[in-house]
Every structure is written in structure tokens, then in C-alpha cells.
């Protein structure tokens, strides 16, 4: 049983097909990596990685990554560059995804309260796209109001989900505080107790959002940290996710052991067993950013070190003073090396999450 038998098409998927894919992942006990991309090169590398191990994929773009996609030379006043860049990335992904032959979810990453104009801009693009194509441009968006009071967080997510459900978009929300630092929010000094979401919080979210739509996922804090730390330094408690599932199951009087779709933020630096355990409790998406950033850089680093003597001038290398170096400094050559090491790292993430041979 794979995506094909379940009727999940290749290319970018939205709405009902997203529901089918996440349900499939939850039932089979695997998770899909959401790879942060900032360029067509990183998008293509992530797609190639997933294609070669027969896996569905989530590509996500952050607010900063979106602005970069549009070009650092553009002004981001009013989130303009982030909106244009995110829309541009979505169109690129839509254009090429089908040719890679895998189902792809396009997702936007963390959006804190102060970045809401970015979120609104993407939603407008979704609504425009829906008028013509009967589906949104993106597949899902994330709203991160975990810094705000709980009631405000949930009420705002509910309000947005009402608007989003009209065009079959999925909402990812965050409750509890993930440590570390991400797009403009620094939680490195936060009190320890706040780093673990309580079961009642999860039920409050579930109860309110499920009144609107079932297309939502929850990023809960269970000791996870954004960014990279030495393995073992992150005190993860994936068992909390099991407690959340049990609590919601009991409240709903549900037959399912995993009524909630959880998202794992800040997985970098976690040991593989903890990732496996979290997935067994209903994590269906894990964010991957820091580790693939390093992998991309590592490809360039190794290439430069190996070809250093051919990369000091346009002409002249150990083979002769008049030998041209064009074929060594062509961006297609060294960027491809970055892509190759990134591809390996994306595939490693897929294997860690059980996302292999799922087509
Ligand atoms: Zn987060």
C-alpha cells in the first residue's frame, strides 16, 4: 500500500490529498520531512532526494527564506519581498514537482504575530489561485503564536482556519515554547517549564480547531530546541506526545490511538531513537533546516578544498600557466556539489522518519 493505491497524485497536492497523505503517514507510523528551501537549487535538490528513494516530500519556506528567494536586493517593507518570494517559490515548485514524480506539499514556515502581513499576503495569493484552479497555491501554512497568551493563540488560529478551510488549506499551529532561536524570535533564555506543552493545552487547541476543519497540525513543545546543539544536550521527552494523544483520545471517546497530527520542530541534534519514538506517537512531519544547511555548505567546502589550486584565478593552474579554470568555477559545478551533499542529508532524514518506498 502506497500513495498511488491511495489515489494521492504526484506533483503539488492540496486539500483532500494532503488529508490522505497525513492519514497514511499516521496510520503507517512514519513522518515526512519538511525541508527548508531558499532557492531553486535547494528546492530541486530536495525533490531529487525524495524522488530517488520513492518518498513524498514537504518543502517549506520561511519568512526570511522567502525574502531571499525574491532577492536580498528587494526591500522587505511591509513584508513585500517575503510575499513575492514565497509566491515565486510556490510557482517554481508547482512547475517542476510533477516531473519529479512524487507528491509534494508546499508549506510556509513559522509566522509570528509581527509577521502576519506576510501570512495575509500568501493567503491572498492562495485565494486568487483558487478562483482559477479550484485549489490554493500553497498546500499549508504555519502560524506561530506560541509567544502570545494561549487564548489569543488559539482564537487567532481558529479565525485564520475559518478563512483557510474555505479554500482547503491546512494550518499548522504551535503551542508551548520551543527553545533556541528562529526567524527573529529568541527563546534561548526561556523558563524550563514553558518548554513542555501540557495535555490540556493540546485538547483546548484540538477542540476549538476541529470545530472548523480537520486540516490542522500541532507543533507541541516537548523539550525540543530550534537550531543545532550537541547530541544529548537536548532533553527531549517524546513520551509527552503519547500523553497528549491519550488525553485527546479520552476526551473524544475516539477509537484512534493517534487522533492528533503532531509536528516536530527543532529536531536537529536529536538522537535517532528519540526521533523514532516521537514518530511512533503520531508525529507526521518533522522540520529539517539546520542539518541540510550544513550539508549544502559541506559540498562547497569539500569541493574548494579538493580543487583549491584551480580556483585562484581565471587562467593558470598546476597543469600550466595558460590553462583556463572556467570549468572549475562555473557555478553549476560547485553548486551541484552542494546539492549532492544536501541530497544525501535529505535522504538520511527520510530514512530516520521511515519515509522511504512510500509511493
Ligand atoms: Zn517552532
pLDDT reported for residue 204: 97
pLDDT reported for residue 39: 98
pLDDT reported for residue 271: 86
What's the CA-to-centroid distance between 180 and ligand 1, angstroms?
Answer: 9
Residues with Cβ–ion distance below 5 A, ligand 1: 174, 178, 265
Domain encompassing residue 289: 3-353
Mean pLDDT of the chain, nearest integer: 93
What's the CA-to-centroid distance between 90 and ligand 1, angstroms?
Answer: 21
pLDDT reported for residue 259: 97
Report the largest interatomic distance among the alpha carbons of the chain, rounded to a whole angstrom. 78
pLDDT category of residue 184 using cuts at 50, 70 and 90: low
Q: Is residue 8 part of a domain?
A: yes
Query: 56-74 pLDDT, tens per residue?
Result: 999 999 999 999 999 999 9
What's the CA-to-centroid distance between 219 and ligand 1, angstroms?
Answer: 7
Q: Is residue 10 part of a domain?
A: yes
What's the CA-to-centroid distance between 352 and ligand 1, angstroms?
Answer: 20
Q: What percent of the chain has pLDDT over 70?
A: 92
Name the packing angle between helices 199-210 and 239-252 (round to 10°): 50
Q: Is residue 311 part of a domain?
A: yes
**C-alpha Rg value of the chain to the nearest Å:** 21
pLDDT reported for residue 267: 80
Kindly write down the DSSP assignment for every residue of 122-173, as one continuous string.
HHHHHHHHHHHHSS-SSSEEEE--TTS-HHHHHHHHHHHHHHHHTTT-EEEE
What's the CA-to-centroid distance between 314 and ligand 1, angstroms?
Answer: 45
pLDDT category of residue 186 using cuts at 50, 70 and 90: low
Q: Which residue has the cell 486568487?
A: 128
pLDDT reported for residue 225: 74
Q: Is residue 41 part of a domain?
A: yes
d(CA 58, CA 222): 22
d(CA 30, CA 42): 24
pLDDT reported for residue 223: 81
Catalytic residue among 109, 126, 144, 289: 109
Q: Is residue 358 part of a domain?
A: no
For residue 193, the 8-state DSSP code is: G
What average pLDDT score do residues 258-266 get? Answer: 95
pLDDT reported for residue 221: 87
Query: 300-348 pLDDT, tens per residue?
Result: 999 999 999 999 999 999 999 999 999 999 999 999 999 999 999 999 9
pLDDT reported for residue 187: 61
Q: How many CB atoms lie within 10 A of CB 137?
A: 25
Q: What nine digits make up the cell of 105? A: 506539499
What's the CA-to-centroid distance between 111 and ligand 1, angstroms?
Answer: 9
Query: 187-232 pLDDT, tens per residue?
Result: 655 555 666 888 999 999 999 999 999 999 999 988 887 765 555 5
Q: Which residue has the higher pLDDT, 191 or 264?
A: 264
Q: Which residue has the higher pLDDT, 233 or 108?
A: 108
User: How many structural domains are present in the chain?
Assistant: 1
Q: Is residue 28 part of a domain?
A: yes
Q: Is residue 359 part of a domain?
A: no
**CATH number reported for the structural domain that contains residue 114 in this entry:** 3.20.20.70
What's the CA-to-centroid distance between 112 and ligand 1, angstroms?
Answer: 10
The answer to whether residue 292 scores a pLDDT higher than 80 is yes
Task: Lowest mean pLDDT of 27-31, 177-181, 213-217, name the range.
Answer: 177-181
What's the CA-to-centroid distance between 261 and ligand 1, angstroms?
Answer: 15
What's the CA-to-centroid distance between 182 and ligand 1, angstroms?
Answer: 8
Q: What percent of the chain has pLDDT over 90?
A: 87
pLDDT reported for residue 315: 98
Is 309 among the residues known to form the active site? Answer: no
E strands, the chain, are 11-12, 32-36, 57-61, 103-108, 140-143, 170-175, 179-182, 185-186, 216-220, 225-226, 262-264, 283-288, 315-317, 320-324
Amino acid at each position: 500500500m502506497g500513495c498511488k493505491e491511495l489515489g494521492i497524485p504526484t506533483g503539488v497536492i492540496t486539500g483532500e490529498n494532503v488529508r490522505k497523505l497525513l492519514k497514511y503517514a499516521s496510520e503507517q507510523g512514519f513522518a515526512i520531512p519538511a525541508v527548508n528551501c531558499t532557492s531553486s537549487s535547494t528546492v530541486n535538490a530536495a525533490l531529487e532526494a525524495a524522488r530517488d528513494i520513492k518518498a513524498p516530500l514537504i518543502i517549506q519556506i520561511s519568512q526570511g527564506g522567502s525574502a531571499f528567494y525574491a532577492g536580498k536586493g528587494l526591500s522587505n517593507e511591509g513584508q513585500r519581498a517575503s510575499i513575492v518570494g514565497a509566491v515565486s517559490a510556490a510557482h517554481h515548485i508547482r512547475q517542476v514537482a510533477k516531473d519529479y514524480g512524487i507528491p509534494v506539499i508546499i508549506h510556509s514556515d513559522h509566522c509570528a504575530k509581527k509577521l502576519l502581513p506576510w501570512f495575509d499576503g500568501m493567503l491572498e495569493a492562495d485565494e486568487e489561485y483558487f478562483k482559477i484552479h479550484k485549489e490554493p497555491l500553497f498546500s499549508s501554512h504555519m502560524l506561530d503564536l506560541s509567544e502570545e497568551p494561549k487564548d489569543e493563540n488559539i482564537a487567532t488560529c481558529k479565525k485564520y482556519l475559518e478563512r483557510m478551510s474555505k479554500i482547503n488549506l491546512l494550518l499548522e499551529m504551535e503551542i508551548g515554547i520551543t527553545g533556541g532561536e528562529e526567524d527573529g524570535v529568541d527563546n534561548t533564555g526561556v523558563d524550563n517549564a514553558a518548554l513542555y506543552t501540557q495535555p490540556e493545552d493540546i485538547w483546548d487547541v484540538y477542540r476549538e480547531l476541529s470545530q472548523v476543519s480537520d486540516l490542522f497540525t500541532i507543533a507541541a513543545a516537548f523539550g525540543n530546541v530550534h537550531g543545532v546543539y550537541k547530541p544529548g544536550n537536548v532533553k527531549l521527552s517524546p513520551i509527552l506526545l503519547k500523553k497528549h494523544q491519550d488525553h485527546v483520545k479520552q476526551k473524544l471517546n475516539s477509537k484512534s490511538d493517534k487522533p492528533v497530527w503532531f509536528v516536530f520542530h527543532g529536531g536537529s541534534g536529536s538522537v535517532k531513537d528519540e526521533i523514532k519514538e516521537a514518530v511512533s506517537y503520531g508525529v507526521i512531519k518533522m522540520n529539517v533546516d539546520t542539518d541540510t544547511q550544513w550539508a549544502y555548505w559541506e559540498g562547497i567546502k569539500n569541493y574548494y578544498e579538493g580543487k583549491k589550486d584551480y580556483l585562484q584565478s581565471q587562467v593558470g593552474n598546476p597543469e600550466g600557466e595558460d590553462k583556463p579554470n572556467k570549468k572549475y568555477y562555473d557555478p553549476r559545478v560547485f553548486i551541484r556539489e552542494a546539492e549532492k551533499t544536501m541530497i544525501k542529508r535529505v535522504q538520511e532524514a527520510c530514512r530516520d522518519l521511515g519515509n522511504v518506498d512510500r509511493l
